[in-house]
Amino acid sequence: MLKDFRAFLMRGNVVDLAVAVVIGAAFGAIVTSFVNDILMPPVGRLLGHVNFSDLFVTLSKGSYPSLAAAKAAGAATLNYGVFLNTVVNFVIIAFAVFLLVRGIETLRAKPAPASPSTKECPQCVMTIPIRAARCPHCTSTL
């Protein structure tokens, strides 16, 4: 049983999937950092010095200056700013995957066009089989 399990793990598909998961997790971390540290701060500044990760609605009584203060007080919150950052992360990752799949599709070998099975008779310009020696329409020799 252990031998079968080892054979299963060493199959190409499982190893490829493991590599894809590790690369995907690393790519997700890069995109998250890009959104939180590079993309959203200028957008927040353009919208009036808004820090998207601090946008929240308190469901409990009381007012809190930041999300960290609300969490420290144990208040229930709706963190829509964090959700917006996550949506932007998803859109960027989805677009990157789209570009990757599109690039792979263009690199795939395209099937060769089928060879023609008909030709035109030079005398009557009717379509005839390519192997024909005489045109069935005008009876000219080809």
Q: What is the pLDDT along the chain (142 residues), one digit of tens a residue?
A: 888 888 777 776 777 788 888 988 998 899 888 888 888 888 888 888 787 888 889 898 888 888 888 889 888 999 998 898 889 888 888 898 888 888 888 888 777 788 888 899 888 888 989 888 888 888 888 7
> Given this model, what pLDDT does residue 11 score?
75
* Residue 2 confidence (pLDDT): 85
Sequence-distant (6+) residues with CB within 8 A of 15 are 9
How far is 88 from 86, CA to CA, in rounded Å? 5
pLDDT of residue 104: 83
Identify the helix (H) or strand (E) that includes residue 128.
strand 127-129
pTM: 0.57
Cα–Cα distance list, 3 to 16, 25, 64, 106 (Å)? 20, 30, 58, 40
